[in-house]
Amino acid sequence: MKKVVLMALALGLSLPAMASEKVIDMYKSENCGCCSLWGKAMEKTGLKYELTS
């Protein structure tokens, strides 16, 4: 029973970390057009990114 309680406590404490917003750092070459398309696809899934050229 103690293991179940400890596992539930660990899961409860880790939920805020999993729920925090993640930002992907994306480095793009000026000669590449696919990076922007990939970034737009990530936005559609709810992820955010910062683009650096």
CA pseudo-torsion sign 36, 34, 51, 14: positive
Question: Which helix (H) or strand (E) is 20 found in, with range?
Answer: none
Q: For position 18, what pLDDT does the model report?
A: 56
For residue range 5-40, list pLDDT tens digits in order.
777 666 666 655 555 667 888 888 878 778 878 888
| Pairwise pLDDT comparison (6 vs 48), residue with the higher score | 48
- The 10 Å Cβ neighbour count of residue 44 is 8
Whether pLDDT at 45 is above 80: yes
Whether pLDDT at 48 is above 80: yes
Residue range 41-53: average pLDDT?
84
> Would you kindly state where each structural domain of the chain is located, as residue ranges?
21-53
